[in-house]
Structure 1
Amino acid sequence: MTKNRSGGGDPVRTLELLWREVGAPEPSAGRRGPRQGLTVGAVVGAAVELADAESLDALTMRALAQRLGVTPMTVYTYVPGKDELLDLMLDEVYGRMELAPFGPDEPWRDRVTRVATDNRDLLARHPWIAEMSVTRPPLGPGVIGKYEHELAAFEGIGLPDAERDAALTHLLGFVHSTAWAATDSAELNSRQSDDDWWAEVGPLLARVIDGERYPLAKRVGEAAGAYNTDMVWAFGLQCVLEGLERWADRHAGGADPR
């Protein structure tokens, strides 16, 4: 079970913070404690910067307070705790995405590919998102705006609404899993490159892996080589697109796609 998940805080308080109106008093107004000239947005922005630089494990309310130059108790007057903070951070970075409208004649494969690529780029900028469980996403303006935009990518395919949601969930699940693997691979390579690792373990593996006992593992493993993030991405995305097209075609033909 992941220790970092969305939807883990007070749902009402979280929604109040997510949907705070521009120009309205900060939700902490009227509470005791110095305001220090901060805003909820400034606190969330600093938290995103901290997570971008050091990961979610490094994000604590104390570390955030140090970054802001205030006491931890001051931070708590703006955000009740880390659970609510994670929701605000996720909604914030989603709200920053540049969601260019889809063209009326843009093929659905191009639209869906753009959604996948935009999310891959987002996760490259904010790797900590891949560390989070978002089964219950924060329903703030950033999340809802992103959801509205991405659902439109599937317009005209012929999927019922519930399956359109499932298709988007399937696509984003693929993006998140490959992004997490790419981040993990990059972290491992920062300690020791794949080439150096294979040079060190290769001779031993050549002695212990019996090609007659493990013929497929030996042949395919040698062909695949080190983990290739771009190849895995391109192949996986094509599988997702082909599967969606096949599913939609069966709908169009009146067959039960299951």
Structure 2
Amino acid sequence: MTTDGNPGDPAATIALLWGTRQLPRRGPKHGLTPARIVDAAVEVADTEQDLATLSMRRVAESLGVGTMSLYTYVSSRAELVEAMVDAVYGEAVAELSEIDADDWRDGLRRVAAVNWAMHLRHPWLLQVFTGRPTLGPNAIAKYDLELAVIDGIGLSDVEMDSTITLVTTHVEGLARRKVEAARVVRQTGMTDQQWWAATAPALAEVYEPRRFPVADRVGAAAGQTHQAPYSLDHEYAFGLDRLIEGIAALVNRSAE
């Protein structure tokens, strides 16, 4: 699970994530620990909002130590990224542990909200390849707590797994769009409203509503409702409601 396709050493990564790595008893005393290094890396990535700029050297600079000092505790950048992801999942675990919903629908909405907030706090998470999951204690605890929300409602184990995947990928996709929209604003110095005000006059000169009657009608209605070309917050809520309706239909069918 990295941005460069380098899997690192799986055994070493597991040892780091689960705190079983044997560290040398002698050597320079910088007050370093794996947790301190990971926290510093998360802070760097959060500040720069871009995982591509994260390097062992950059993390070492933030800690005031030499780059080589980090390798005593973390073997590679790939391993560091894995540990960063698990650390951030730890925040989600704390929030998910507080879910006490009487209705599974409300529970799923809370699961979605926790994941939404997590991605917006740490947008670099969206740059981490997720073809192979991280296997740290927080990642597994997060998954366990999410599943617990829908345990016993009538879904099979496979359906439970697919339901959580469905909800979290919906959230991830829209969080990606929201983060990208914010990045465009930062890079251009122009809000969506300013961009539209600058673009609309030129578009009006070539646009013929009669050529696109359905798009013209629907686009105008959406624009009037949102006071913008689109609303990602609306898409988040609308999509989540439709997903929950579909899951409820599956639960009801299973009960028949």
Contact 1:27–1:78 (8 Å) recurs in 2: no
Contact 2:86–2:136 (8 Å) recurs in 1: yes
Amino acid at match of 1:65: A
Amino acid at match of 1:183: V
Deviation of the 1:229 alpha carbon: 1.9
Structure 2: gaps (5+ residues): 224-228
Q: Provide the TM-score with structure 1 as the length reference.
A: 0.88
Contact 1:5–1:132 (8 Å) recurs in 2: no
Name which of 24, 30, 51 aligns with 1:36: 30
Amino acid at match of 1:172: T
Aligned to 1:242: 245
Deviation of the 1:128 alpha carbon: 1.1
Deviation of the 1:18 alpha carbon: 0.5
Structure 1: gaps (5+ residues): 254-258
Contact 1:4–1:133 (8 Å) recurs in 2: yes
The 1:119–1:7 alpha-carbon spacing in structure 2 relative to 1, beyond 3 Å, is farther
Contact 2:99–2:110 (8 Å) recurs in 1: no
Aligned length: 246
Q: Distance in 2 between matches of 1:227 and 1:188?
A: 15
Q: Does 1:72 align with 2:70?
A: no
Q: Distance in 1 between matches of 2:158 and 2:177?
A: 29
**SS at structure 1 position matched to 2:210:** coil
Of 135-144 and 218-227, deviating more is: 218-227
Deviation of the 1:243 alpha carbon: 1.4
The 1:27–1:223 alpha-carbon spacing in structure 2 relative to 1, beyond 3 Å, is farther
Aligned to 1:143: 139
Contact 2:82–2:134 (8 Å) recurs in 1: yes
Q: Provide the TM-score with structure 2 as the length reference.
A: 0.89
Amino acid at match of 2:117: D
Q: Distance in 2 between matches of 1:240 and 1:76?
A: 45
Aligned to 2:226: none
Name which of 150, 154, 160 aligns with 1:154: 150
* Higher helix proportion (structure 1 or 2): 2
Aligned to 2:84: 89
Aligned to 1:49: 43
Aligned to 1:256: none
Amino acid at match of 1:48: V
For residues 189-200 of structure 1, the aligned pairs below 5 Å read 189-190=185-186, 191-200=189-198
Q: Distance in 1 between matches of 2:8 and 2:150?
A: 32
Aligned to 2:125: 129
**SS at structure 2 position matched to 1:8:** coil
**SS at structure 2 position matched to 1:154:** coil
Q: Distance in 1 between matches of 2:221 and 2:4?
A: 38
Summarize deviations over 1:205-227 as a string: whole Å, max 9, x none: 12222222222222222333323
Deviation of the 1:30 alpha carbon: 5.4
